[in-house]
Amino acid sequence: MQTPPTSINSPASELRNAIFIVAGVFSAAFGLKGFLLYSHFIDGGVTGVSMLLAAAFNLPLAALILLINLPFVALGYRQMGRRFAVRSALGIGGLALVLAVVPFPDVTPDKLLTAVFGGVFIGAGIGLAMRGGAVLDGTEIAALLASRHLLLLKVSDIILILNLIIFMGAVFILGTEPALYSMLTYFAAARVMEFVLNGIEQYTGVTIVSEQSEAIRLAITEGLGRGVTLYQGKAGYGKRSDQLSERDIIFTVVTRLELPQLRAEVQRIDPYAFIVQYGIDDAQGGIIKKRPLHG
């Protein structure tokens, strides 16, 4: 008998989310206070704006992070619900509290190590908080809301534009060198955050067109232990695509670690098979390794 899945609102799920958020708060705080602040580097987003204002006007960073982020959380409440807003408010409040009261040592005076590892801990913290259903920076909320009105721009485009403006401001307030190191911090944080959210087993969708579709299907389902979906299609080739032949088109989802084995199996069966692959942020159900649900 199968065990029913844990409800996303169950106590166990909420405890797991809380652990993720707390771990994210301490990781982000360590990246900020143990690396960036001592070297006068900044991060992107609302946190970066708070750090710039703190440096320019000698204001307390913890208070600025709290005050500037909360309006975005209020907007998130209207668009994404009470549960998300409460978690995010607690996460941002926790980050401000940890920055204010927890002492962190200056880990290294080396500027390159500071920029890279500061970004690593900040990105890990943001990613962990997001896996717990919260955000530690209101930039994502602002970009999501703005993208609904600026139809030509995606959320990622808006975040990039906002951060370019922030780093341009950093050139005038902090100087060129700290601003360049801060950009390196931002890129490191973005990559680590993506890794924390998607993991090493990021999913890849693969579409395979081959005359040996049945043999390939068996290799995937029996050899790799993955599920497949078959589409009825026609292969067209030639100048006018007038040589049509019906065949099954295979679609499957594998992890990046399994992808080389899948390609090798397909090439072994049919060296002329047409393979298309594309990244998938997440997948659930079917014959895949199930990730924990976060609500």
> Of 139, 168, 198, which residue is a domain's last?
198
| Residue 119: band (very low, low, confident or very high) from pLDDT cuts 50, 70, 90 | very high
- Residue by residue, DSSP assigns 60-110 as -HHHHHHHHHHHHHHHHHHHH-HHHHHHHHHHHHHHHHHHHH---------
166 in any annotated domain = yes
Domain for residue 129, yes or no? yes
- Of 31, 51, 16, 182, the C-alpha closest to 98 is 31
How far apart (Å, rounded) are the C-alpha atoms in residues 121 and 100? Answer: 18
Is the pLDDT confidence value at 290 over 50?
A: no
Q: Which of 173, 198, 223 is the last residue of a domain?
A: 198
Q: Are residues 39 and 185 in the same domain?
A: yes
Beta bridge mates, 234: 246
For the residues of 17-44, what is the DSSP string, one character each?
A: HHHHHHHHHHHHHHHIIIIIHHHT---S
* Residue 228 bridge partners (DSSP): 252
Per-residue confidence at 223, pLDDT binned at 50, 70, 90? confident
Residue 237 lies in a domain: yes
Q: Is the pLDDT of residue 164 over 70?
A: yes
pLDDT at 140: 74
pLDDT of residue 240: 47
Angle at 39 between CA 191 and CA 161, to 5 degrees: 45
- Average pLDDT for 138-160: 70
Do residue 58 and residue 180 come from a single domain?
yes
**Between residues 2 and 130, which one has the greater pLDDT?**
130
User: If you write DSSP's letter for every residue of 117-180 in order, what string do you get?
Assistant: HHHHHHHHHHHHHHHTT--S-THHHHHHHHHTT-TTS-HHHHHHHHHHHHHHHHHHHT-HHHHH
274 pairs with which residues across the strands?
209
132 has a pLDDT exceeding 60: yes
Per-residue pLDDT at 150: 63
The pLDDT of residue 178 is: 93
C-beta separation of 164 from 42 below 8 A: no
pLDDT of residue 152: 64
Distance separating alpha carbons of residues 283 and 18, to the nearest angstrom: 23
pLDDT attached to residue 283: 61
pLDDT tens-place string over residues 37-54: 989 999 988 999 999 999
How far, in Å, CA of 133 to CA of 131, rounded? 5
Whole-number percent of the chain with pLDDT over 90? 38
Average pLDDT over residues 151-162: 71
What number is the average pLDDT over the span 114-142? 90
Are 164 and 92 part of one and the same domain?
Answer: yes
Residue that wins the pLDDT comparison between 291 and 114: 114
Strand pairing of 245-255 and 228-235? antiparallel
Residues 6 or more apart whose Cβ sits within 8 Å of residue 173: 52, 55, 56
Same domain, 80 and 176: yes
Q: Which of the four pLDDT bands, split at 50, 70 and 90, describes residue 155?
A: low
pLDDT of residue 293: 37
Which tokens hold the place of 126?
């943001």
Output the domain CATH number for residue 229: 3.30.70.120
How far, rounded to the nearest angstrom, does the alpha carbon of residue 143 sit from its chain's CA centroid? 15
Shared domain for 161 and 38, answered yes or no, is: yes
- Using pLDDT thresholds of 50, 70 and 90, give the confidence band for residue 30: very high
Residue 221 shares a structural domain with residue 187: no
Whether residue 143 lies inside any domain: the answer is yes
* Cβ 48 vs Cβ 163: under 8 Å: yes
- Which tokens in the block code for residue 184? 């390196």
The answer to whether residues 189 and 79 belong to one domain is yes
Number of domains within the chain: 2
| Strand, coil or helix: 250 | strand
Predicted model pTM: 0.73
Whether residue 164 is found in the same domain as residue 236:
no
CA of residue 70 relative to chain centroid, distance = 22
Q: How far is CA 166 from CA 14, 24, 35, 56, 159, in A?
A: 35, 23, 19, 13, 11
Which residues form the domain of 142?
A: 11-198
191 and 88 assigned to the same domain: yes
Give the residue from 171, 198, 225 where a domain finishes: 198
Mean pLDDT of 78-89: 84
Q: Is residue 294 part of a domain?
A: no
Q: Does residue 121 share a domain with residue 17? A: yes
Residue predicted with more confidence, 69 or 10 = 69
Residues 177, 207 within the same domain:
no
Q: 140 and 34, same structural domain?
A: yes
Q: At what angle do helices 111-131 and 11-31 cross, to 10 degrees?
A: 160
